[in-house]
Chain A
Amino acid sequence: LAKTTQPISMDSYEGQEVNITCSHNNIATNDYITWYQQFPSQGPRFIIQGYKTKVTNEVASLFIPADRKSSTLSLPRVSLSDTAVYYCLVGDGLGTGGFKTIFGAGTRLFVKA
């Protein structure tokens, strides 16, 4: 499974756009990129998943450059409630990676008023 590297922590202010970048230099052809959000004492929550270019949903956007060696999660106009840990995962969407989803240490985002 490809290893991911993301910042340990980030600070922002309410109303700002936050971009969290994840590096995955060894991403394989079949790998998808998935982001989760986790609040204290809760399980992670699926945010967004993509393979290439740009994916957008009601919560966030995911930007993936052509070489796919990194990806950026974009959260528009964050609020205090977006304070959480964000995990970037890279795995084999076709199952040959072993069916297990591996989490790293994540990025702790702290949104200030």
Chain B
Amino acid sequence: DAGVTQSPTHLIKTRGQQVTLRCSPKSGHDTVSWYQQALGQGPQFIFQYYEEEERQRGNFPDRFSGHQFPNYSSELNVNALLLGDSALYLCASSFGRDYEKLFFGSGTQLSVL
């Protein structure tokens, strides 16, 4: 049973560019949450997708957007990249209302130069 998979594992972009990160949830899970984790800090909640809609959003600008597909996989898009967007981006999946028992992927390390 595959866990949460994220791609790519590492990515280097320059300021102003756009990036798309991908996530496949754990089998049987229908909810995907995205987090940003800066070095030395705890993960910061970006948003959560359920039934192909954004159900909840954290304190992130509109440059951060996402999508969930019918197979429950998800994408995180970040436009107009800033240096401060450099971080580990984590995807977590859960099932239904059991959203506090999150299963995380290993993340995508994004470096903005």
Query: B-contacting residues of A (Cβ < 8 Å)?
Result: 32, 34, 36, 41-46, 49, 85, 87, 89, 91, 93-95, 98-106
Contact = CB atoms under 8 A, between A and B. Distances in A.
A93 to B, nearest CB: 7
A87 B109 contact: no
Contacts, number: 67
Task: Please tell me the size bucket of the interface on B.
Answer: 20 to 34
B104 A43 contact: yes
A36 B104 CA distance: 11
Main secondary structure of the interface of A (DSSP, over half): loop
Given A32-B100, A89-B100, A93-B100, A101 B42 contact: no
A13 B50 CA distance: 43
Contacts of B45: 100-103
A15 B50 CA distance: 43
The interface centre, meaning the residue of B88, B90, B104 with most chain A CB atoms within 10 A of its CB, is B104
B25 interface: no
B73 to A, nearest CB: 17
Given A49-B100, A105-B41, A100 B106 contact: no
Interface in B81-98: 88, 90-92, 97
Interface in B38-77: 41-45, 48, 50, 55-56, 58
Given A42-B107, A91-B100, A103 B43 contact: yes
